[in-house]
Amino acid sequence: MVISETTSDVSTQHLPSTFASRYVRTPLPRYKMPDNSIPKEAAYQIISDELMLDGNPRLNLASFVTTWMEPECDKLIMDSVNKNYVDMDEYPVTTELQHRCVNMIGHLFNAPVGEDETAVGVGTVGSSEAIMLAGLAFKRKWQKRRRDQGKPVDKPNIVTGANVQVCWEKFARYFEVELKEVKLSEGYYVMDPEKAVEIVDENTICVAAILGSTLTGEFEDVKKLSELLTEKNKETGWDTPIHVDAASGGFVAPFIYPDIEWDFRLPLVKSINVSGHKYGLVYAGVGWVIWRSKDDLPDELVFHINYLGADQPTFTLNFSKGSSQIIAQYYQLIRLGFEGYKNIMENCRDNASELKKGIERTGRFNVVSKDVGVPLVAFSLKDSSKYSVFDISESLRRFGWIVPAYTMPPNAEHIAVLRVVVREDFSRGLAERLVSDIEKVLCEMDAHTTTPVSTKLAHVSKKDVTEIQKEMALYWRRLVDRNKTSGVC
């Protein structure tokens, strides 16, 4: 979502004509629909010229989202871009491809279904929608159980770590569920299973574990969580389940860490979400949510419609959506197969390892990410007395790199890090170039530290949350001021 802001400066109210009179000479209004049509060539050129100022997606190391696919898949996407997936009767083959994807992913996650059985799941716009659907299923199951016991249903909660993605906060706020977060600590940036189980109570609809933390890429210990929660359920008579947010790690762990038990091999894991547009290797936006069995998805949440020509069951938050990404996901699954995904994930892991070595060789950073997890490298400055990671992040933009800098959640907000996500299209050569550019930035900053930009951040304590927020606000405002027409929410 983008929050648009207009400016009163008259000079910015119009878009200048492109290439003088070659196309059009009359400036276009920036925030109002023009009175007259313009040639298609002019419209294309105007937009194309503005888009040149966007960053290069392949150099956007902040994002987990896929930025490259094969030309054959690009063609499939364009061939199907005019199909509305929700019209299942009109596009039965596309619907069948989604069912195949659900079953392939279900088997990948060790769902307890036979060869001739059908996995239970649905394609979504992304993991955010998938989490909303899974959360609703947990809430309704909990409410029914409580009503059958004659108990109140007005105070549901979910237990998570403070490192969860913002979509969990959205679910909690939108659907009136309390979010009980296990705080982090310095050096331990994922949910502690023991602390999580301690705060589970009779109103907990599920415990959400993350397979691939956004902050450090680390996998949470779902197996230990399951063991501890199983014991607590036996002691209390509760039936608290687990949801695994595998948005980033769901297409990584099965291929290069097959011995880690995190999926439906654990009986308490009732649903799993994964982002097809991350390490599923599809452009944004497609996600998936898979349930252990039909019993874990309440029938009351599934709608049946027939005004598009036939009875069509649907369980989504939105209605219309494109078919392209579902078709692209199917392409990747059959094109690559298990072997292909395994090769790509191993390559990403190896490139992340080489990048980590290069970062460590500078002698200026502490690497806080783990070797086992999503292929990324997160690192903090050893000495922040002269400049901060935010300054480094901003300076790297001169070379085209988009490397995010951020602070850890409570109670580790005094730790600020840079993070590089290693995707399929991030080569060994790009890793070497990034390290070289980081070294250039460090040399430049060492030579100009008489008036550091972010000295306050260098001396923050655990109590200096307000100072950190001010520093981050100033940092992002400088970036937003480069384009006063919009700000990202």
User: CB-based contacts of 466: which residues, under 8 Å, 6+ apart?
Assistant: none
Q: How far is 242 from 246, CA to CA, in rounded Å?
A: 12
> In three state form, how does the secondary structure of the chain look?
CEEECCCCCHHHCEECCCCHHHCCCCCEECCCCCCCCCCHHHHHHHHHHHHCCCCCHHHECCCCCCCCCCHHHHHHHHHCCCCECCCCCCCHHHHHHHHHHHHHHHHHCCCCCCCCCCCEEEEECCHHHHHHHHHHHHHHHHHHHHHHCCCCCCCCEEEEECCCCHHHHHHHHHCCCEEEEECCECCECCCCHHHHHHCCCCCEEEEEEEECCCCCCEECCHHHHHHHHHHHHHHHCCCCCEEEECCCCCCCHHHHCCCCCCCCCCCCEEEEEEECCCCCCCCCCCEEEEECCHHHCCHHHCEEECCCCCCEEECCCCCCCECHHHHHHHHHHHHHHHHHHHHHHHHHHHHHHHHHHHHHHCCCEEECCCCCECCEEEEEECCCCCCCHHHHHHHHHHHCCECCEEECCCCCCCCEEEEEECCCCCCHHHHHHHHHHHHHHHHHHHHCCCCCCCHHHHCCCCCCHHHHHHHHHHHHHHHHCCCCCEEEC
Q: pLDDT tens digits for 440-473?
A: 999 999 998 754 444 444 444 444 555 655 565 5
What is this structure's pTM?
0.86
Q: How far is 392 from 446, CA to CA, in rounded Å?
A: 11
CB 364 within 8 A of CB 382: yes
CA 146 from chain center: how many Å? Answer: 33
Q: pLDDT tens digits for 409-444?
A: 888 888 999 999 999 999 999 999 999 999 999 999
Local confidence pLDDT in tens for the 489 residues of the chain: 455 555 555 556 776 665 545 666 677 888 899 888 888 888 888 888 889 888 899 999 999 999 999 999 999 999 999 988 777 767 889 889 999 999 999 999 999 998 778 999 999 999 999 999 999 999 999 999 999 999 999 999 999 999 998 999 999 999 999 999 999 988 899 999 999 999 999 999 999 999 999 999 999 999 999 999 999 999 999 999 999 999 999 999 999 999 999 999 999 999 999 999 999 999 998 999 999 999 999 988 887 665 555 556 677 787 788 899 999 999 999 999 999 999 999 999 999 999 999 999 999 999 999 999 999 999 999 999 999 999 999 999 999 999 999 999 888 888 999 999 999 999 999 999 999 999 999 999 999 875 444 444 444 444 455 565 556 556 555 555 554 443 333
CB 257 within 8 A of CB 229: no
Report helix angle 389-396 to 428-447, nearest 10. Answer: 120
User: CB-based contacts of 9: which residues, under 8 Å, 6+ apart?
Assistant: none
259 is written with which tokens? 């011995």
> What value does the CA radius of gyration of the chain take, rounded to a whole number of Å?
24
Q: pLDDT tens digits for 240-277?
A: 999 999 999 999 999 999 999 999 999 999 999 999 99
Q: How far is 215 from 398, CA to CA, in rounded Å?
A: 24
Q: What's the CA dihedral at 488, 212, 241, 285 to 10 degrees?
A: 50
Q: How far is 295 from 196, CA to CA, in rounded Å?
A: 25
Q: How far is 186 from 189, CA to CA, in rounded Å?
A: 7
